């Protein structure tokens, strides 16, 4: 069980879903957390649940550089430093290439892609001043094994592969590790809208959708000193989905 005592983590998109699960688990494991999201009410409610000694909330639209600076300030003010960044905030869009409005695509780029870039750009100098830190980028299996009808979304996630890997070399000498998690289907508003789990998840080798806490435990490992020699790692957390294509020639036993 990865210990996070003494760590302070800023988690983007932490008001609900995987980010909220990460905030809860990180506090259980001893960290202080900054819950950063556009959903202020949910963010503050979660912070209150976790207790003022353990958590604070801040309004953050990840596509806005000034709001990133304010989020870092909020973390430093509340807990003195931020040495873990989980770039988790993301939005999804599904649609045929011919039916994807360009403005929708640009919004995906702003949040999923530039949002992660700005997070690293804002936090890296501060982490360097501390002697190092850990950045966990929440990417997706879509970055390398996209489903059809996800060209816009998948391309923003694929961009994070190159961005994260380039950052590994640039930030490593500053003591900053950069790692990636590739979730498959996860039971959140994004993965199971309105709480309805698509039947297709049964085809994954593990036969079910993932739970947000199952991503959070991996994020805790990458945030902790247990992963002190990991940088550039990509951890697939998808129940075997992308590896375990079912055999179409198999006959029912």
Ligand X SMILES: NC(=O)c1ccc[n+]([C@@H]2O[C@H](COP(=O)([O-])OP(=O)(O)OC[C@H]3O[C@@H](n4cnc5c(N)ncnc54)[C@H](O)[C@@H]3O)[C@@H](O)[C@H]2O)c1
Active site residues: 153
* Phi, psi torsion values for 57, nearest 5 degrees: -125, 155
Q: Which range, of 120-128, 161-169, 181-189, 223-231, touches ligand X by CB under 6 A?
A: 181-189
Instruction: State yes or no: residue 119 binds ligand X (CB under 6 A).
Output: no
CA pseudo-torsion sign 96, 88, 169, 239: negative
Sheet of 8-12, strands arranged across:
55-59, 32-37, 8-12, 84-87, 133-138, 176-183, 234-237
- Which residue number, 75 or 183, has a Cβ lying nearer to ligand X? 183
x/- binding map, residues 194-233, to ligand X, per CB under 6 A?
----------------------------------------
Instruction: State yes or no: residue 189 binds ligand X (CB under 6 A).
Output: yes
Interface with ligand X in residues 35-74 (CB under 6 A): 37-39, 60-63
Residue 195, both tokens: 């709480």
- Which residue number, 98 or 103, has a Cβ lying nearer to ligand X? 103
Residue 114, both tokens: 């530039």
Alpha carbon distance 186, 133 (integer Å): 27
8: enclosing H helix or E strand: strand 8-12
Kindly state the smallest distance separating residue 156's Cβ from ligand X, in Å.
9
- Which residue number, 94 or 129, has a Cβ lying nearer to ligand X? 94
Instruction: State yes or no: residue 16 binds ligand X (CB under 6 A).
Output: yes
Kindly state the smallest distance separating residue 99's Cβ from ligand X, in Å.
20
Could you write out the DSSP letters of every residue in 144-192?
A: TSPPTT-HHHHHHHHHHHHHHHHHHHHHGGGTEEEEEEEE-SBSSTTTS
- Which residue number, 33 or 111, has a Cβ lying nearer to ligand X? 111
Tell me, by CB under 6 A, how many residues bind ligand X.
28
If you search the block for the tokens 């503050």, which residue do you land on? Answer: 44
Question: Can you give the binding site for ligand X, defined by CB under 6 A?
Answer: 12-13, 15-19, 37-39, 60-63, 88-91, 111, 138, 140, 183, 185-186, 188-191
């Amino acid at each position: 069980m990865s210990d996070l005592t003494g760590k302070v983590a800023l988690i983007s998109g932490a008001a609900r879903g995987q980010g909220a699960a990460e905030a809860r688990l990180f506090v259980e494991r001893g960290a202080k957390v900054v819950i950063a999201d556009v959903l202020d009410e949910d963010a503050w409610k979660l912070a209150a649940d976790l207790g003022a000694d353990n958590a604070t909330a801040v309004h953050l639209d990840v596509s806005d550089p000034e709001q990133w600076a304010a989020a870092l300030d909020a973390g430093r003010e509340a807990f003195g430093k931020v040495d873990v960044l989980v770039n988790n905030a993301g939005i999804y869009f599904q649609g045929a290439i011919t039916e994807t409005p360009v403005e929708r695509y640009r919004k995906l780029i702003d949040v999923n892609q530039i949002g992660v870039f700005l997070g690293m750009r804002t936090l890296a100098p501060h982490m360097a001043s501390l002697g190092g830190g850990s950045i966990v980028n929440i990417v997706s299996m879509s970055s390398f094994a996209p489903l059809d009808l996800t060209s816009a979304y998948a391309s923003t996630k694929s961009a994070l592969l190159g961005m994260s890997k380039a950052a590994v070399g640039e930030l490593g000498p500053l003591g900053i590790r950069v790692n990636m998690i590739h979730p498959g289907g996860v039971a959140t508003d994004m993965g199971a809208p309105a709480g309805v789990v698509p039947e297709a998840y049964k085809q994954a080798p593990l036969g079910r959708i993932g739970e947000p806490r199952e991503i959070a435990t991996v994020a805790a490992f990458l945030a902790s000193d247990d992963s002190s020699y990991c940088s550039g790692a990509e951890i697939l957390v998808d129940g075997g989905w992308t590896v375990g294509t079912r055999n179409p020639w198999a006959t029912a036993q």
